[in-house]
């Protein structure tokens, strides 16, 4: 039998290696924060958890504050990737709103990245360890994302035209924020019936 020559895997570029190491460091930081709180994610501990040198996190982020800001941006990117994987933008507006909420709540159970985000947010509110703008920008992004889905549903005629799209988006975002906070207080909370209730309530409130 003739042997098939295996093609060597192309070498990663320096930019690819840098991007991969940064992603690994941020994932390690999220895990450490989810397990032991913000203080557990020292730059040294993050580097070691990710399998790199002790100083790489310092080289990448400069300071603990730089790490926090990069982590919040990374978690927002991960959230958007999750929504894209659900093909939410391909759905009609009303279905997209409920699918967005459902995907978020499904992801709430046992997700260390979400837990890390809300631990960071709670710490920032409590002692000002991170500027409010870091989190405000993320929440405005989510609000605009939901508002866009609502406006699309209104243009399609599936969502009430008299609904204030911005206020409705803020309400939905606040609901998710509250449930996320409750999950940190009570990790055993059963999300399944909440998902069903929220979907039904949103459809009843928004449907034209």
* CATH code for position 81: 1.10.357.10
Q: Rounded distance, CA 114 to CA 110, Å?
A: 9
| pLDDT, averaged across the chain | 86
The pLDDT confidence band at residue 92, using thresholds 50, 70 and 90, is very high
pLDDT of 1 strictly over 50: no
For residues 107 and 195, the answer to whether their CB atoms sit within 8 Å is no
What is the pLDDT averaged over residues 39-43?
Answer: 89
The pLDDT confidence band at residue 156, using thresholds 50, 70 and 90, is very high
Give the chain's domain count. Answer: 1
pLDDT of 101 strictly over 60: yes
Which residue pairs from 20-25 have beta carbons closer than 8 angstroms and sit at least 24 positions apart in sequence? 21/50, 21/52, 21/56, 21/60, 22/60, 22/70, 23/74, 24/50, 24/51, 24/52, 25/50, 25/52, 25/56, 25/57, 25/60, 25/61
Range of the domain at 151: 69-206
Report if residue 31 sits inside a domain.
Answer: no
Report if residue 5 sits inside a domain.
Answer: no
The pLDDT confidence band at residue 53, using thresholds 50, 70 and 90, is confident
Report if residue 78 sits inside a domain.
Answer: yes
The share of the chain scoring above pLDDT 90, in percent, equals: 38
The pLDDT confidence band at residue 106, using thresholds 50, 70 and 90, is confident
Q: In the prediction, which pLDDT does 94 show?
A: 95
Q: Rounded distance, CA 82 to CA 98, Å?
A: 15
The pLDDT confidence band at residue 128, using thresholds 50, 70 and 90, is low
Report if residue 58 sits inside a domain.
Answer: no
Report if residue 33 sits inside a domain.
Answer: no
For residues 149 and 97, the answer to whether their CB atoms sit within 8 Å is yes
Highest mean pLDDT among 15-24, 72-81, 197-206: 197-206
- Higher pLDDT, residue 203 or 106: 203
Report if residue 185 sits inside a domain.
Answer: yes
Report if residue 46 sits inside a domain.
Answer: no
What is the pLDDT averaged over residues 155-160?
Answer: 96
CA distances from 13 to 17, 19, 23, 61, 102 (A): 6, 10, 15, 21, 38
Report if residue 14 sits inside a domain.
Answer: no
């Amino acid at each position: 039998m003739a042997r098939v020559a295996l093609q060597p895997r192309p070498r990663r570029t320096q930019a690819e290696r840098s991007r991969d190491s940064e992603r690994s460091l941020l994932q390690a930081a999220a895990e450490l924060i989810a397990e032991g709180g913000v203080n557990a994610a020292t730059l040294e501990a993050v580097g070691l958890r990710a399998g790199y040198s002790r100083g790489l996190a310092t080289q990448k982020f400069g300071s603990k504050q730089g790490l926090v800001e990069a982590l919040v941006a990374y978690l927002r990117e991960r959230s958007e990737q999750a929504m894209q994987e659900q093909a939410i933008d391909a759905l009609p507006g009303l279905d997209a709103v409920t699918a967005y909420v459902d995907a978020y709540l499904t992801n709430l159970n046992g997700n260390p990245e979400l837990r890390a985000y809300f631990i960071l947010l709670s710490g920032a509110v409590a002692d000002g360890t991170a500027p409010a703008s870091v989190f405000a920008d993320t929440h405005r992004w989510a609000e605009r994302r939901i508002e866009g889905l609502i406006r699309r549903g209104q243009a399609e005629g599936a969502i009430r035209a008299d609904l204030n799209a911005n206020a409705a988006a803020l309400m939905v975002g606040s609901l998710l924020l509250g449930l996320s906070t409750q999950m940190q207080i009570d990790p055993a909370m059963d999300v399944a019936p909440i998902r069903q209730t929220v979907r039904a309530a949103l459809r009843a409130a928004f449907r034209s």
